[in-house]
Amino acid sequence: MTLQQFMNEAISPWMREDGPDSDIILSTRIRLARNFAQYTFPIMADEDDLTHISDFIQREYENQSFQDYHDFAFMPIEDLSSTERRVLVEKHLISPHLAKQNQASAVLISKNEQVSIMVNEEDHLRIQLYSPGFQLNHVLTKVSELDDWLEEKIDYAYDEKHGYLTGCPTNVGTGMRASVMMHLPALSLTNQLNRMVPAINQLGLVIRGIYGEGSETTGNIFQISNQITLGKSEEDIVADLQSVVSELIEHERKARHYTMKESGTQLEDQIYRSYGILAYSRIIESKEAAQCLSDTRLGIDLGIIENVSRTILNELMILTQPGFLQQYAEKNLTPSERDVLRASLIRERIQLEV
């Protein structure tokens, strides 16, 4: 697998598959923070230590496979252009923090892009595993097996009392962040979500934007994840998140039903107007595109818009991001040029579908 192959496809192969509750849940992810016991953690490490970690990962795991995750590709961050880094962030394969690193930082990615292992970010390793739809227990099983496979060759920094030791104190314990990416247009439209956020926070969970901590919420897509890792088992963390997300799914479906019943004509008008903008506009900014894609996806899920697949909406949500637009154009673009190209790509992709 080459870097160019990762860059050419906007949507990861696994994202083309439907999963449980995929009308509301885009994806499930579990990330594990791990560190080598014999090396200083990245926040204080010198370049030699970080280079030892990076070289070890490349030597032991590049081109290797584990279960369904084949042909791991190793990519040093310093070898990537700013556009290539941005594309990997937009595909959720690396974090915005790793994209800013140069010193012996890297990423190891499986061919199907379900597994991404960030090297020398805030921790020596940040192991991510994705699945489509709502599959927390399945993802926990698979990432645990992957973690065990890595640990056959790595001595992790672990304390009997505190658990896995990490660069950030909030990750000490399990070192696990479980998250679910949700599309919640009806809860947003009815202003119910804002009232739910404080209660969700009190349960030790947090709602963030599409790219995690510090990112902006666009297109009614939200990332729900755990905040607490110490004092709870992996199974307890997943059970808590499972319970809250299940309730959010139920509330979103009720809100969709209520909105259709009480304001069906207005909702259909909003959905068709957004679809019309996507299908015919010549200039479109990223925020407007995200909102129109959200409305159109809702229309597809409600059966209002037919003959357009949910998958192309997933694809366009990534394809229309600034990094991908510049990768597609093979040059740096001004904001105005991106707006024109974004509109053109959306029109072409929708016309191919209908």
pLDDT at 330 over 90: no
Task: Tell me what pLDDT residue 254 has.
Answer: 96
Same domain, 46 and 120: yes
Residue 126 known to bind ligand: yes
Query: How many structural domains does the chain have?
Result: 2
62 is in an annotated binding site: no
For residues 89 and 193, membership in a common domain is answered with yes
Residues 128-176 pLDDT 10s: 999 999 999 999 999 999 999 999 999 999 998 888 999 888 888 999 9
124 with 228, same domain: the answer is yes
pLDDT over threshold 60, residue 293: yes
**Residue 194, Cβ neighbours under 10 Å: how many?**
10
pLDDT at 59: 97
Which is nearest to 106 in space by CA: 30, 32, 50, 41? Answer: 50
Q: In the prediction, which pLDDT does 219 show?
A: 87
pLDDT of residue 204: 87
Which domain range does residue 84 map to? Answer: 3-252
Residue 141 and residue 127 in one domain: yes
Annotated binding-site residue? 195: no
Which of 252, 268, 296 terminates a domain? The answer is 252
Are 78 and 110 within one domain?
Answer: yes
Give yes or no: residues 260 and 305 share one domain. Answer: yes
Do 269 and 184 belong to one domain?
Answer: no
- Please tell me the predicted confidence (pLDDT) of residue 266: 95
**143 marked among binding-site residues:** no
Residue 76 bridge partners (DSSP): 106
Within this chain, do residues 9 and 151 fall inside the same structural domain, yes or no? yes
Last residue of a domain, one of 211, 236, 252: 252
Final residue before a domain boundary, out of 199, 228, 252 = 252
Query: Contact 88/99 with Cβ under 8 angstroms?
Result: yes
- pLDDT, tens only, 204-247: 899 987 655 555 678 899 999 998 777 889 999 999 999 999 99
CATH of the domain at 207: 3.30.590.10
304 pLDDT above the threshold of 90:
yes
Whether residues 49 and 25 share a domain: the answer is yes
Say whether 210 counts as a known binding-site residue.
yes
Q: Please check if 180 is assigned to a binding site.
A: yes
DSSP state of 216: P
Q: Specify whether 20 is located in the same domain as 109.
A: yes
The chain-wide mean pLDDT, for the chain, equals: 90
The answer to whether residues 237 and 296 belong to one domain is no
Q: Is the pLDDT of residue 274 over 90?
A: yes
In the prediction, which pLDDT does 214 show? 53
Q: Is the model's pLDDT at 352 over the cut of 80?
A: no
Q: Is residue 94 a contact partner of residue 85, using CB atoms and an 8 Å limit?
A: yes
User: Do 180 and 190 share a domain, yes or no?
Assistant: yes
